[in-house]
Amino acid sequence: MKRNDFLEHVAWTGAGIVWSLSATGVLASEPARAAEGFSFVQISDSHIGFSRPENPDVIGTFTRTVDAINALPQRPAFVVHTGDVTHLSKPAQFDTAKQILGKLNVPSIVLPGEHDVIGSPQAFLAAFGRRDAPNGWFSFDRGGIHFLSLVNVYNFEIDGKLGADQLDFVENDLAAQKASTPIVVFAHVPLYALYPTWGWTTEDGARVLSALRRFDAVTVLNGHVHQIIQQTEGNIRFATAASTAYPQPAPGAADKPGPLQVPDNALLKVLGYRSVELASDSAARVTDHSLG
């Protein structure tokens, strides 16, 4: 893989990105199976409990996000939260987040981020654990798409890490899928080496990416970096999401990662959510919506 290929279509923006995947896109490869009108929404990094000047009202911006999703003209099939629901894994923070997510008029899927498993994953699992996924990772099929929901924040000792058990699960799960089936993967930390200097990578993510290469079209949706970054590597399209709480610097644009102060009137423009929908021409549209 040439570096130039890997970095193809790299883009960074605070919000407002719209891209369509008609020609080689995630769903266009198999229009006969993909359900027309099917859509879902991704939200990420709500950091309930954060209370610094970069956003003194994360409850307010998270609530605003939920209200905006409920007002979408096309009701999504579900909402996935790709982690860092809370800032410090406190039960009260999970309670608050659960109450706000409970206002959604559609079901939600919630992945943990490293901020949700500080000390142990128990508080997260108590709030959002699933009986059908005792280890946290699972797969499901909706709208003609095969979804994988992964956890790369357990054993978080160097970078994001999936672990041997989860890697075995991924490989076995994908082995049962046809190459023409559109695949969508959720995980908190980027599965590829987005910016390892800041830990924005998954130590053992390469095995997952290897297992994904034989498919016609794959979309990997992550959080963690609090900004929209898109990259395409062959058949795999990566997209990290904006936070609903606060932005972070672009990779290498500051000495360190962390909350980025923007002018008060600019905050809502860099926070938001993402919708993924199948348009009437069977092309997938991934649309990032800002809150302001």
The single residue among 7, 10, 126, 158 that binds another protein, judged by CB under 8 A, is 158
- Shortest distance (Å) from residue 90 CB to another protein: 7
- Under rule CB under 8 A, residue 121 binds another protein: no
Residue type (1 letter), 205: G
Q: Which of 87, 274, 285, 289 binds another protein (CB under 8 A)?
A: 87
Residue 46 corresponds to which tokens in the numbers above? Answer: 């709500």
Among 65, 82, 89, 139, binds another protein (CB under 8 A): 89
For residue 114, state whether it binds another protein (rule: CB under 8 A). Answer: yes
Binding residue (CB under 8 A) for another protein from 142, 258, 281, 292: 258
Stretch that binds another protein, among 48-56, 59-67, 185-193, 230-238 (CB under 8 A): 48-56
CB of residue 112 to another protein, shortest distance in Å? 13
Q: Is 252 a binder of another protein (CB under 8 A)? A: no
Is residue 72 part of the contact set for another protein (CB under 8 A)? no
Starting at the edge strand found earlier in the chain, the sheet holding 284-290 runs 18-21, 284-290, 272-278, 39-43, 79-81, 108-110
The residue count for binding another protein (CB under 8 A) is: 26
Task: State which of residues 23, 157, 164, 280 lies at the interface with another protein (CB under 8 A).
Answer: 157
Nearer of residues 7 and 92 to another protein, judged by Cβ: 92
Q: Tell me, what amino acid is at 77?
A: A
**C-alpha of 92 from chain center:** 24
Minimum distance from residue 264 beta carbon to another protein (Å): 5
- How are beta strands 218-222 and 236-240 bridged, if at all? parallel
Under rule CB under 8 A, residue 205 binds another protein: no
CA end-to-end distance (rounded Å), the chain: 39
- List own/partner pairs for 161-169 with CB under 8 A and 24 or more apart: 161/202, 161/203, 161/204, 162/202, 162/204, 162/205, 162/207, 162/208, 163/204, 165/135, 166/135, 166/137, 167/204, 167/207, 167/208, 169/135, 169/137
Pick between residue 132 and residue 255 the one whose CB is nearest to another protein.
255
Binding range to another protein, per CB under 8 A, among 20-28, 133-141, 143-151, 257-265: 257-265
**CA 65 to each of CA 46, 59, 80, 81, 201: distance values in angstroms, whole numbers, following the listed order:** 10, 10, 13, 12, 27
Taking the least distance from each CB to another protein, the nearer of 7 and 158 is 158
Closest among 29, 75, 13, 30 to 277, alpha carbons compared = 75
- Regarding 264 and contact with another protein (CB under 8 A), the answer is yes
Query: Which of positions 185-204 make contact with another protein (CB under 8 A)?
Result: 199
Query: If DSSP codes are grouped into helix, strand and coil, which group holds residue 284?
Result: strand
Q: Which residues bind another protein (CB under 8 A)?
A: 49, 51-53, 56, 87-90, 114-115, 118-119, 156-159, 199, 255-259, 261, 263-264
